Amino acid sequence: MNWAIVFLACGDEHIKEFNIVAKTINELNPKLKIIVGTDTPENITANTYKTIHISEPFNYNLKRIPIREALDEFNTILFLDTDTYVRNDIDFSIMNNISDGLYVDDIVPPERQDRNGSIEWIQNYIDKLNELWPHNKPQLIPEGRFILKWNTTEQRNAFIEMWERGYNWTVGTQPEQYGLSGCMEGFLIWIAAMDAGIPVKKIWNESETHRTFFQSMVHFASPNKKLNPTIL
């Protein structure tokens, strides 16, 4: 099993969410490897393969840190946001045989991020992204769940290095969400994959097995929602 499930869990709310979803995964299959980056490792109560202490101020791009650690050991990862429910009937076996690529929910052009018909609210960020990646228009991928599989060490290194470079390049222009900086990091993930030669694939264009796998993971993307009682 050369793959791992990766999370970023910083702050009380996200740590509570992580402990919920990680406990579910442990109950479904205790052999699955869970890697989490967190600012308070002592509050992680679920069993993990590796817990990484993060001391930097919060930024959505901090997920690159546990992902980097995971890719040092594994050639395939499943990244999940903490506000995710994993259904009891999920079949993880697809992760053992998936082909190379970055598998995502969608691939979105910048203009679909408009507010009241304008992208002015993120224009400085988009301008910096165009400087970073002038080859074609950067695209946004949803960051809440994705699969990444690299084929060569060169691809792995290029992906991590470009994400790090892109993060530093766009500091000061990264949008905020819920008062926290670094959202829309999906643009940087897309650019990193392009630079590494890793194909970006919409999961919904793949096989029924691929689609069923993603449908077995419910991402809420809403503060505190997962902490409310929900029946799935």
pLDDT tens, residue by residue, 168-196: 999 999 999 889 999 999 999 999 999 99
pLDDT tens, residue by residue, 145-158: 999 999 999 999 99
State whether residue 60 is helix, strand or coil: helix
Q: Where do the structural domains in the chain lie, given as residue ranges?
A: 3-107+140-227
In the block, tokens 């670094």 appear at: 182
pLDDT grade, residue 107 (50/70/90)? Answer: very high
Radius of gyration of the chain (CA): 17
- Angle at CA of residue 139, ends 85 and 207, nearest 5°: 50
Give the C-alpha separation, 81 to 184, whole Å. Answer: 14
Check whether 15 has a pLDDT greater than 60: yes
pLDDT value at residue 226:
46
- Superfamily in which the 3-107+140-227 domain is placed by CATH: Spore Coat Polysaccharide Biosynthesis Protein SpsA; Chain A (3.90.550.10)
**AA letter at 94:** I
